Structure 1
Amino acid sequence: MSSFVAHNVSIRLYCSETASFNQNYDVEDNRVESDVEKLYSTIMGRPIGHRGMEKALDQLGIPLSTPLVTGVLHSLRFEEKIAFRFFTWAGRQENYSHEPCAYNDMIDILSSTRYKVKQFRIVCDVLDYMKRHNRNTVPVEVLSTILRKYTEKYLTHVQKFAKKKRIRVKTQPEINALNLLLDALCKCSLVEDAEALFQKVKSKIKPNADTYNILFFGWCRVRNPTRGMKVLEEMIELGHAPDNFTYNTAIDTFCKEGMITEALELFEFMRTQGSTISSPTAKTYSIIIVALVQNDRMEECFKLVEHMMSSGCLPDVSTYKDIIEGMCLYGKVDEAYKFLEEMGKKGYPPDIVTYNCFLKVLCDNKKSDEALRLYRKMIELGCMPSVQTYNMLALMFFQMDDPDGAFETWHEMGKWGCAADTDSYCVMIDGLFRCNKVEDACILLEEVVNKGIKLPYRNFDSFLMQLSTLGNLQAIHRLSEHMRKFYNPAMARRYALSQKRKSMSLRGK
């Protein structure tokens, strides 16, 4: 009897100890999950490229562990650049060092990215070295060896091309790989790490103009133009001449940071001391003009337009688009009209391409009143709208759930003798189906068949799905027979497979 009681007591004690162990295990598990959520929300709550992410993580004060770090990496597995930033930050924290499983997770994330061929193989090599040798930092000599091996392994096609064309390559083979590594770090917004690495190795590996450009663009990416200008000054001192693309990037960054004075000073330097490859372009002017518009400095804006014309810098379509888009986005529609008038007075009257650029901005922002005003003004000035003009208007009305406006546009197109093209029919039919105007959509599909128009396969497939949902077998048969002239079953299968692969890639598989 006593032995039975003792046995029973021991069972109860064992069960209580096991329950206690399980409870502690569950509590620890829940704590890790909670900390993963806190870290993840802090990381994703910052704008991409914002340099304050690391400071925000520091302020949380959460002690790191391997399960916690791997949990966050798993949550960030589809955001490889942000994951790499978190991994780098975690590796610097006191009382924590990455274990092999954390390295492996990071390498898996970087290896599965779409950038793996271009940027991240070298990063994987460095991480793998750190994992195998249990180091927190990589010596410069070892890094140079890794860079050389990477160049020999992955950049052989460059060397073969140079040998075939008898091009003498003057740069060290390591510099190409180093530039890829710096570029990868900068694109992850780890510009301070990139510059620290550059300072360590520049005595061993001679940098070229691309190296400085990468660092300069990196500082511009994280909105720190002051540091970027220091890199630019060092670049010029060493005899590397920046081109106008580099200067345009700096000016654009200054303008986005609200540093208009600095942007104008750099522009003046380009204008007075710039070489042939670094003098202001139409893009330079458009960046500053839009910045002046944003800051409501319209008088200076139009003076700059005059200066652009007098200096012989001819505007192109992209110039018109950038300036007009900037003016419209900041509510300066009347000023946009004035800009077109000024250009006309200077001997550059807007054509249909220019007007369509203007119209696209208005349509994309669903400013229907302004879009129709511009359409009427085009006709008044004798610039007849093109089929693209009507397509943009019709699409805008459908996006605004206004099929009547789209129909008016369709009839207006016929009134002015502008023949509808394939895109016109696709916009109208798709919009009518979405607005539940099924009968009208079927009438236009009948026109497509009667006129022998070849629909793009994507639209054909979409229209068949719509008709299938409606159960309109007669229309399905008629449209399928018509499209059989243009497409065969093999092509249909290839299209279906490509769509399947695309959908799987979006799911991260």
Structure 2
Amino acid sequence: MNRSPVNPTLLKSVLKIHHLSNSAFSSLQTLPDSKTSSFLNPLYNFLPHTQNPSKIVDTICTNLKERRTALLEKDMIPHLGTEEVSRVLLRCQSDPFAALTFFNWVKNDLAFLPTIHNYCLMLHILAWSRKFPQTMKLFSELIELNRNKPEKASIFENLVLCTKDCSWEPVVFDILLKAYLKAGLIHDGFVTFRKMVKLGFVPKIISINFLLNGLLKLDRINECWGIYEEMGKIGVHGNTFTFNILTHVICKSGDVDKVNGFLEKMEEEGFDPDIVTYNTLIDSYVTRGRLKDALYLYNIMCIRRVMPDLITHTSLINGLCKEGNVKEAHKLFHKMIQIGLNPDIYSYNTLICGYINKEMMQESRMLLHEMIRNGITPNKFTCLVLIEGYKKKGMLISAVNLIVELQRFGISVSRDLQIDLVIALCQVDKPFAAKSLWERIVKDGEETCMIKIYNELIVSFCKSNYVNEAIQVKDEMFFKNVNPSLVTYGVIIECLCRLNRTMEGEAFMRDMIEVGIQPDMTIFRSLVFGYCKEKNLNQAESLLILFAEEFQVCDNECYNEVFKGFCEKGDMGKSMEFQKRMQKIGFTPNSLSFKYAIDALIVNSGMLHTY
């Protein structure tokens, strides 16, 4: 047996729960216990061989040794229990292949789920035989089974219990720790670490690093420092990875003033800060607006002959740009090139952002061209910041030209960015540029959001009184099998009426009714007011009748506008006749109606004088 020393007092406390194993681990146990209670009882020799536990174990082990596929006779299978499984595994300790073959046979072919005790024996056998990949795989399986149970069993304690029966190596606990971290169970990994230390096991530094990194991602800063203190107590020395992780911990905690003391501690333990350490600290300083400290570390790096890399320079360029010092950032950019570092997409994007924030679009455009010449393809972020920069300055046409230029270079621009630009162009009354860009998008096969874009184009054309172009867009919608909406028709009708083309507007309204879209009050008023403005009162009256009879809409505002038109013609007889006709279909005169009538009577009687 290859055993490692375990704190006997603490192990004894763990073994006290052994008598509760049947209940404590029942959540994973579905394989029935054998009907035997003692394998040393000689009376079992008088039983049939199918009910003799020793016979079952002997038969399985013989078949495993001879590599037979049939491990057990069918009539013996009902008498196979968890104790027999454990005994077979213990007798196969020197042959991990045979043990794993049997374990998988029980689990897969017999459709029985081994107990956690069976799993832990198998794990010890694999780890003792240095079959580490298989050990990790089986740990992952066991952890997954255990996490889905309402009452979780302690895998660690079961592993400890199994050490009294089988050969084992302490590395099995390290693998358990890593398996928890791999499964994303950081808390379980932390608990396992504490139990390992308590029982006198010394975790390997690589396992501790995994745990520190997991805790760091969860912002559990205090636990990280607790582990670091525990390392000193148990005599585990950190390596460069450990100190770099702890550097991240310092930076994440915000207490960057501890940096100098921590760097001294590293040097005392024989580790010089490397490029990762410096980059972590510089990025933290830049994030917190302490650019002077970041530049100081940059100079220290050079003094200590730690060559700054691309990440170092990009962080500092970002810091300089945040402070608005784009010229110094560009100088550092050139210095980076001079020492043999080739800028990447992130370096260029950082500097481009700096120029855009200063509204220096020409310089940012020049950097874009430099990127392309150097074989670096602009990404979505590059296109986004440049287009947003042009939009912020109101240079939307330049943004369109940028997209055309990028596409000429074979660089795709996000469809969403282009659509946002189409809408922005529509909103600043540049419908022709918007339509040109939209046609390029559709040509590339992007035809979603059609109704929204077409409506935006129509609104923009109509707003600028280009109603014929708006109608062409509406016709294009039919060609693309996009059904115009109430908004589509309403905007065009309103524009036609505004341009004294109310008859065409009414024709659009009737087309709209034919396709099943009911006109709203805005369309009604646009048409009536349009006819009144054109002095076509008869047509305006016909619309009043149409809306009252077909749509049960009697709008006094429209009625008064038509009545006002009749009054202004000076023929009060016709005005009164109009009023009677309207009253028959539901219109009721109001105070404004009487005002128009009184004003007309005064004008016609000559009582109104000009002074």
TM score, norm. by length of structure 2: 0.40
Greater Rg by CA: 2
TM score, norm. by length of structure 1: 0.46
